A and B are shown apart, each in its own frame.
Chain A
Amino acid sequence: QKEVEQNSGPLSVPEGAIASLNCTYSDRGSQSFFWYRQYSGKSPELIMSIYSNGDKEDGRFTAQLNKASQYVSLLIRDSQPSDSATYLCAVNYFGNEKLTFGTGTRLTIIP
């Protein structure tokens, strides 16, 4: 059973600080990795994808991938109250047509 693990939180971060979200996965054959943001009552929206080891930056968001340690993380700089949401990690395994999702981490930014 291929698994994706996330700390469910809640994670509370002061406004303006860096929020760090982590995700581990069980299968070394994993190929691509995604972070989704989901506001309460809404559907998930894709905010970052990463395929290679290292960092990928997009505005205030940075995704970090370490395949040797089998983890992927999301950093949110200069956190804003609008960043308060549940963040879902998803993994695509090689040869698999579907994504496997973690249960999500609930993030609250404190003004």
Chain B
Amino acid sequence: DGGITQSPKYLFRKEGQNVTLSCEQNLNHDAMYWYRQDPGQGLRLIYYSQIVNDFQKGDIAEGYSVSREKKESFPLTVTSAQKNPTAFYLCAIRDRLDGYTFGSGTRLTVV
């Protein structure tokens, strides 16, 4: 995973429940990203952060929240306002080649 750890690997959410996905990195990178992947829709950006204590909304931020209190950590909360949260969630850092390195992902399912 190139120093990016996502947990848990699988997560089940009940209706009306908030859940938090963890993303930790030990590569000392400033920029971190959260993407959502649905079948046939590619990767869509939820939130990103370029520096501690600062983050920006991506294309589909509604129903999600993030924090960036430490450089190493960028957790994503899927709130009850997100009506269709079942998806594969990917955290990424931006590496020296200007591309991304992704974590192993969290697969979230609503039960």
Determine the distance from Cα of A42 to Cα of B43 in the docked complex, in whole angstroms. Answer: 13
Specify the chain B residue showing the minimal Cβ separation from A6. Answer: B42
Chain A contact residues, CB within 8 Å of chain B: 8, 32, 34, 42-46, 49, 88, 90, 92, 97-99, 101-104
Q: Are A88 and B48 in contact (CB under 8 A)?
A: no
Q: Are A34 and B99 in contact (CB under 8 A)?
A: yes
Could you list 5 A-B pairs, sorted by A, with CB under 8 Å? A34-B100, A43-B102, A88-B43, A92-B98, A98-B33
Q: Are A98 and B58 in contact (CB under 8 A)?
A: yes
B45 contacts across to A, CB distance below 8 A? 98
Q: Are B98 and A32 in contact (CB under 8 A)?
A: yes
Q: Are B58 and A104 in contact (CB under 8 A)?
A: no
Determine the distance from Cα of A106 to Cα of B84 in the docked complex, in whole angstroms. Answer: 25
* Count of chain B residues near A, Cβ 8 A: 23
Determine the distance from Cα of A43 to Cα of B94 in the docked complex, in whole angstroms. Answer: 15
**Which of A32, A98, A102 counts the most chain B CB atoms within 10 A?**
A98
Going nearest first, the 9 A-B pairs with the smallest beta carbon separation are A103-B42, A43-B102, A101-B43, A34-B99, A43-B105, A101-B42, A46-B99, A49-B97, A32-B98
A101 contacts across to B, CB distance below 8 A? 42-43
Determine the distance from Cα of A82 to Cα of B95 in the docked complex, in whole angstroms. Answer: 26
Does B25 belong to the interface (CB within 8 Å)? no
Min CB–CB distance B49 → chain A (angstroms): 10
Does B78 belong to the interface (CB within 8 Å)? no
Does B103 belong to the interface (CB within 8 Å)? yes
Q: Are A97 and B50 in contact (CB under 8 A)?
A: yes
Q: Are A102 and B58 in contact (CB under 8 A)?
A: no
